[in-house]
Amino acid sequence: MSIDDSDNRSDSLELRSFGRRIGRALSPRQALLWAQTLPKLQLDMSQPAAPTMLFPRRMREIWLEIGFGGGEHLVWQAQHNSDIGHIGCEPFRDGVVKVLSSVDEHCLDNIRLHPDDARDVLRWLPPASISRAFVLFPDPWPKAKHQKRRLVNSSLLTALARVLKPGGQLRLGTDIADYARTMLMAAQRQPQLRWTAATADDWRVRPEDWPQTRYEAKAVREGRSSCYLLFERI
């Protein structure tokens, strides 16, 4: 599938980091969720950002997940952390609909969504407004000629460091060893992020409060090991 860079409405210097946006046709129920539920949960970035005002009740913290895929991790965190407000960004419609279905089924009021490029949200958010951020198993763009499209790079980490609160946590995950190296190298160039690993298990073993995503499960089936990189905002 060809990629049209003109579809990226962000800075013209940014390459689109995702492929297709639409998969299978929506079922009648999914179409209803898209038409009626998404507008209630979607970020309105025409207004000044006030993350604590996005939710119907007071939230202890705001967390951000970039590229939530099928939404397994986002929904799990929302269910297990009901006093946290969760912002999820995902351009693929099928994944967004899955989260809308879970929100409807479980009556979750602590999820807000941006069905588009997360970098727009990072520009919109105020400094030091996010307590935890996740970028889990992003598209690895394995071909050498496409690796410039990888989402996690120095530019993204600088943007994340801006919105993270001091003491806040960034979690990166990948099953591609080369991508793990580039993630770590980019993070080490960001002076406001500190890698918290003290032993090999700190990046080889998934933390208990980090549920498995479908992409990680696929990596396990295909015999690939995963890296779990945790950073603290200094």
List % helix, strand, coil for the chain (3-state, nearest 5). Answer: 40, 20, 40
Report angle CA 52, 101, 116 to the nearest 5 degrees.
Answer: 60
Among 139, 175, 178, 209, the one annotated catalytic: 139
Q: How far is Cα of residue 36 from the mean position of the Cα atoms in its chain?
A: 23
The amino acid sitting at 120 is D
Rounded Cα–Cα distance for residues 64 and 85 (Å)? 9
Pairing of strands 61-66, 164-174: unpaired
* Bridge partner residues of 233 (DSSP): 193
Rounded Cα–Cα distance for residues 139 and 145 (Å)? 14
* 202 given a catalytic annotation: no
Rounded Cα–Cα distance for residues 151 and 212 (Å)? 20
Write out the catalytic residue numbers: 139
